Amino acid sequence: MIIDLPSTNSSTINRSLVDLREKGGSVTLGRVLTLVIVTEEPDTEDPIAAANAASFEHPCRVIVVARGARRAAPRMDAQIRVGGDAGASEVVVLRLYGSLVDHGASVVVPLLLADAPVVAWWPGEAPEVPADDPIGALATRRITDTAAARRPIAQLNKQVASYRPGDTDLSWTRITRWRGLLAATLDQPPHEKVVAASVAGAADSPSAELLAGWLALALRCPVRRIKSPAKSGPGLHSVVLTRRAGDISLVRPQSITAELKVTNQPERHVALPRRGLRDCLAEELRRLDADEVYEEVLSRGLALVAKQASAEPARTAVTTSRRSGSAAQAAKAGPARTRKVLSKGTGKAVAERNPAATTAPDTAVASDVGSAEPAAAAYGSSSGRTTRRPRDSGAATSTRRTAVAAGQAGSATSSNGSASTAAGGTEAASAQRVTGRRRRARPSGSS
């Protein structure tokens, strides 16, 4: 049932609600809270549908403050929905125009349920400080949705400074199942410490930022926030936890199923669909006290992730500068690098500063080594050891070579003469021995 009340006031709306209670009996009774939805006039139906679905779990009175044109004449058009058009709740839609747009709290107060908690929800753009807003000041619990803002990450950063106990965000509610799956996986053996983690998601995903902050706060390890390309889709994409025994990866492609991989375990497929407004709103209405975990993630977790992100470029710059410095030193020392050449026969090292100037010294060394071998043979001792002589340079080297050649010739001549003398002496000795044997062969008594 839908009842339209154009150009009305709060008293008329209250009387209409009382009439509906008398006609419908208990239809309008049994409400546990008042849910106030603040939105723009063209965007009222989706939040109302989510509130109607959540009312089956949390029966409530829903008051929708739909802000219309500010330049129009001041007026308020109301609409009351009950029965099948309101789920298990009763919905009051207030369309404000003109100067009434800025005075929504004055219109809402007369319609609140007595002695029931008040929850305020901004499905779109939220005020700078929800707790200081006139409608937010009436509420025990204040729900925002940074993902629906024009600049989600900037809006999330504003919430860090404007947080008050009782504030929460649907971007935080959307990662409840992710947190549950990761916590359940870490409860399985091996119970090793996570040394690093990474969260991949869209660049403008506040849920990815909050999940990274929660992991950094809970695991006390470096967490890297990876911004996926736009073609990968919105929201969260994957989470990887690094341990010594292996990695734990939870990857959700563009489907309702995620892949859970753990080292030394079979791959598993788990249901991980994207949560709608109805599920997120119903979860937030289950508790009306402050969310301490969300507060810690905002105040400390996001700062840890930002600190890690700012440290990575500095670390990369230091590594790059070190590599470039080493390359420059190597290039500078390249022309002056010393090479050691082990010469044959002498066993000495020749240091060469300039590779282009190594031809002449190498030739000189080779010539010296070649001339040293016959010299060593000429001046060798009876034990076979070779006496090394110091090398000369220039004219001394030429003189030594001439002397060595002359010595070799003289040695050859003296060797030939000695051989002839030895041959003559041998022949004379042989003749003497023959003569002696003949004399001994003669008889001693013959005359």
Lowest mean pLDDT among 42-51, 75-84, 340-349, 392-401: 340-349
What are the E-state strand segments in 244-321? 246-251, 257-262, 268-271
Structure-model confidence comparison of residues 358 and 11, the more confident one? 11
Lowest mean pLDDT among 83-92, 241-250, 352-361, 370-379: 370-379
- At what angle are helices 359-378 and 395-441 packed, to 10 degrees? 20
pLDDT band at residue 421 under the 50/70/90 scheme: very low
Q: Where are the domains of the chain?
A: 2-171, 176-273+291-311
CB atoms within 10 A of CB 10: 17
Residue 369 pLDDT greater than 90, yes or no:
no
Dihedral sign for Cα atoms in the order 29, 32, 37, 43: negative
- Closest CA relative to residue 20, chosen from 74, 121, 76, 92: 92
- The pLDDT of residue 392 is 44
pLDDT band at residue 375 under the 50/70/90 scheme: very low
Lowest mean pLDDT among 67-81, 297-311, 317-331, 346-360: 346-360
pLDDT digits (tens, 9 = 90+) for 124-157: 999 999 999 999 999 999 999 999 999 999 999 9
- The pLDDT of residue 49 is 94
Lowest mean pLDDT among 22-31, 84-93, 319-328, 368-377: 368-377
pLDDT band at residue 308 under the 50/70/90 scheme: confident
- The pLDDT of residue 331 is 56
- The pLDDT of residue 169 is 97
Residue 329 pLDDT greater than 60, yes or no:
yes
Residue 446 pLDDT greater than 50, yes or no:
no
Residue 191 pLDDT greater than 70, yes or no:
yes
Residue 365 pLDDT greater than 60, yes or no:
no
- The pLDDT of residue 325 is 59
Residue 391 pLDDT greater than 90, yes or no:
no
DSSP single-letter state for residue 7? T
Residue 378 pLDDT greater than 90, yes or no:
no
- The pLDDT of residue 85 is 77
Residue 276 pLDDT greater than 50, yes or no:
yes
- The pLDDT of residue 320 is 56
Helical (H) or strand (E) element with 40: strand 33-40
- The pLDDT of residue 322 is 60
- The pLDDT of residue 381 is 40
pLDDT band at residue 423 under the 50/70/90 scheme: very low
Average pLDDT over residues 248-265: 92
What percentage of the chain has pLDDT greater than the value 90? 58
Average pLDDT over residues 14-39: 82
Residue 192 pLDDT greater than 50, yes or no:
yes
Structure-model confidence comparison of residues 113 and 442, the more confident one? 113
- The pLDDT of residue 328 is 56
Interatomic CA distance for residues 153 and 157, integer angstroms: 6
Interatomic CA distance for residues 292 and 50, integer angstroms: 26
pLDDT digits (tens, 9 = 90+) for 84-129: 778 878 899 999 999 999 999 999 999 999 999 999 999 999 999 9
- At what angle are helices 206-219 and 302-333 packed, to 10 degrees? 80
- The pLDDT of residue 231 is 85
- The pLDDT of residue 94 is 96
Distances (CA, A) of 390 to 161, 345, 357, 431: 86, 13, 23, 51
